[in-house]
């Protein structure tokens, strides 16, 4: 196991946003790990004893398993966020399963150590409170989307959310993975992807789905992706590239008041231009 001094403290936007004092609170407890696709970070009813920070292009999903073997994805978390003990304070039984969808590196730490660090630092606590709000917003919008919007738009929403985190139009997602995320059968999904391909929005390749034109995809999508993204950009003070990749979030200034956030943290310049 590497010492904390050898662990790269980059690649997760929450950690990247921290000042030196807050980093020093977390660094001794962070452990680097590699997570292959399919790694179960926690199962339903597990004690959530670890907080996981996906690095770079690692992506995990919170999944609700249903009777009969079906599963439905409720939230996607990549390098913009953290998993476990985010909304709760940790050590509570997990309500969902958490599975790594795009393999890669993560930093993990004991949830108790993070809780202590949040108590010791108002700025650290505020960053996680704001992130928890964004994660909840994503979940709430997923509920609305799953109930009200057609499967084609749900597919596009999910592909856009992947592109936000990966920054590429070649999305490493298999049809089995996508069917599982959306809670539909593989053959049904194949028909849906064929429709989107006929519309010129995607090209389905081997182990890849190419999102051909982000602007057209955003226009074809329901409002759910844009609403969740707008909330994240505003609450987290995030900035992104023109092709949608989220590059950074903003830590809370030590002297800022909660009521001044909307003045201090406007959407990033790229987001404002969208």
Write the DSSP assignment of 34-55 as a string of letters.
EE-TT-EEE-TT-B--EEEEE-
| Closer of 20 and 147 to Zn ion (Cβ) | 147
| Closer of 55 and 222 to Zn ion (Cβ) | 222
Q: How far is the CB of 241 from Zn ion (least distance, A)?
A: 24
Q: How far is the CB of 11 from Zn ion (least distance, A)?
A: 30
> Measuring CA to CA, how many Å separate 98 from each of 42, 74, 186?
5, 10, 21
> Residue 147, Cβ neighbours under 10 Å: how many?
7
Q: How far is the CB of 161 from Zn ion (least distance, A)?
A: 11
Q: How far apart are CA 251 and CA 195, in angstroms?
A: 42
> Residue 178, Cβ neighbours under 10 Å: how many?
23
| Closer of 52 and 142 to Zn ion (Cβ) | 142
Q: Which residues contact 83 (CB under 8 A, 6 or more apart)?
A: 41, 51, 52, 53, 54, 60, 62, 77, 98
Q: How far is the CB of 224 from Zn ion (least distance, A)?
A: 3
| Closer of 111 and 196 to Zn ion (Cβ) | 196
| Closer of 4 and 149 to Zn ion (Cβ) | 149
Please name which of 119, 130, 137 lies closest in space to residue 256, comparing C-alpha atoms. Answer: 130
Q: List interacting residues with Zn ion (CB under 5 A).
A: 145, 149, 222, 224
| Closer of 74 and 252 to Zn ion (Cβ) | 74
Residue 8 and residue 19 in contact, taking contact as beta carbons nearer than 8 Å: no
Quick one: DSSP state of residue 88? Answer: S
Q: How far is the CB of 222 from Zn ion (least distance, A)?
A: 3
Q: How far is the CB of 117 from Zn ion (least distance, A)?
A: 36
């Amino acid at each position: 196991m590497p010492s904390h001094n050898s662990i790269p403290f980059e690649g997760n936007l929450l950690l990247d946003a921290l000042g030196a004092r807050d980093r020093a609170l977390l660094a001794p407890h962070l452990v680097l790990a590699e997570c292959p696709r399919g790694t179960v970070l926690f199962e339903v009813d597990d004690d959530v004893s670890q907080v996981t920070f996906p690095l770079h292009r690692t992506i995990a999903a919170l999944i609700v398993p249903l009777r009969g073997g079906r599963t439905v994805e409720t939230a996607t978390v990549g390098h913009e966020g953290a998993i476990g003990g985010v909304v709760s304070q940790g050590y509570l039984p997990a309500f969902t399963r958490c599975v790594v969808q795009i393999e890669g590196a993560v930093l993990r730490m004991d949830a108790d150590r993070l809780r202590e660090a949040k108590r010791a630092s108002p700025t650290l606590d505020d960053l996680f409170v704001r992130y928890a709000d964004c994660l909840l917003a994503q979940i709430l919008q997923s509920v609305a989307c799953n109930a009200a919007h057609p499967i084609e738009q749900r597919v596009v929403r999910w592909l856009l959310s992947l592109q936000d985190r990966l920054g590429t139009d070649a999305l490493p997602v298999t049809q089995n993975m996508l069917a599982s995320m959306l809670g539909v059968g593989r053959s049904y999904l194949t028909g849906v992807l064929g429709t989107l391909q006929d519309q010129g929005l995607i090209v389905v390749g081997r182990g890849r789905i190419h999102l051909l034109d982000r602007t057209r995809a955003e226009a074809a999508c329901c409002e759910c992706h844009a609403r969740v993204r707008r909330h994240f950009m505003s609450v987290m003070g995030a900035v992104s590239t023109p092709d949608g990749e989220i590059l950074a979030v903003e830590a809370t200034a030590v002297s800022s008041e909660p009521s001044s956030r909307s003045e201090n943290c406007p959407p990033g310049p790229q987001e404002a231009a969208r």
